[in-house]
Amino acid sequence: MMNPGKINGNVLKRSVLRQVKKNKINQSLLNGAGIGEDCAVFSSFGDKYTLSCMQEGEILTLSGTGFGSVSHLILKGINNLAACGGRVKNISMTLLLPEDAEEETLKTIVEQASVFAEEKGISFIGGQTRVLNSISIPIAVLNFFGVADRIYDAAAVKPGMDIVLSKYIGLEGTAYLARTEREELLLRYPAYLVNEAESFEGYYSIESEAAIAGMSDVVLMHDVSEGGIFAGIWEIAEKADVGLKIDMKRLPLRQETVEVCERLSKNPYELMSGGCLIMIANDGEALADAIRQKGITANVVGKITDDNARIFVNDEEVRYLDRPHVDALFADAE
């Protein structure tokens, strides 16, 4: 167990600094994490755009991968920047630990974060670790800093443009449910189906399709996450201040997601959808084809309209999109 407040110098050295010092990726980092170092110093990124974002969440697993791991949080930040046309160069992490946490927990989380960041070509530039008596689960707050060669302007979205989705909706939530509700699902489905659903954890990254889109006529992108495709579509429409029309039959949905959601009474359209990227482009078919040529599923699912209505159509049925609801992971489908 560790005492409340800042961790002591010896723990800091062996379980934090020793882990992040292994990460020697970007030459732009001149001075990073260390005792007495209150800020990071890095050289200019030249004429590129500088981007930053933040991700926070509970560390629910020390397995190193999957929903609730520190690696998953890092990947969400990478996705955020990729959807803006950027790539992460540096990250910092604030780690809050419960009072009964063991030092080994601290070391494991930091090591996993450092190793995963290094695999992604990202440098750690510092952070903080504190022990609190008011929490029961480790919490990580990550700040991401990156660069982009170009940025996207929501004002460039115009009526008639195509809306393209990569991969499938509900992948993230399906994988989490397959892992956490495995016994319940096995009462109805064969093990191979549940195993396949859990393997969707391997599809969270949207870096590849974002890079392909960046070389096309794409004008705006948004990575789908909490709240599912309904929330993702609503958010990008709000950002661009446009109306749109989505054909629900064209929304890419894996059969495993259908089965898992049916058994657990979840709405797949409001289910966490990390790994799915929304792209708006002048020629959606050309963009989708370019992405498919790289082995990634992509589909044109709708168009930007010349009014403010945001609708999903299913044959003759029309649904008007509301503000996002709570993610289906945390509430039963309506």
pLDDT reported for residue 332? 58
Give the model confidence (pLDDT) of 24-33 as tens digits.
556 565 555 5
Between the alpha carbon of residue 126 and those of residues 24, 248, 274, the distances in Å are 13, 45, 27
pLDDT reported for residue 334? 43
Q: What is the CATH number of the domain that holds 106?
A: 3.30.1330.10
Give the model confidence (pLDDT) of 101-160 as tens digits.
999 999 999 999 999 999 999 998 888 899 999 999 999 999 999 888 888 888 999 999
67 and 109 in a common domain: yes
pLDDT band for position 316 (50/70/90)? confident
* Res. 23: pLDDT tops 70: no
58 and 31 in a common domain: yes
Contacts of 188 (CB under 8 A, 6+ apart): 259, 263
Work out how many domains the chain is built from and give that number: 2
pLDDT reported for residue 44? 59
Q: Does some domain include residue 198? A: yes
Question: Last residue of some domain: 92, 115, 148?
Answer: 148
Tokens of 294: 């790289």
218 and 134 in a common domain: no
Q: Does some domain include residue 326? A: no
pTM of the model: 0.86
Between the alpha carbon of residue 141 and those of residues 19, 33, 62, 187, 253, the distances in Å are 17, 16, 16, 38, 32
Q: Does some domain include residue 223? A: yes
117 and 163 in a common domain: no
Give the model confidence (pLDDT) of 167-180 as tens digits.
999 999 999 999 99
Tokens of 302: 């709708």
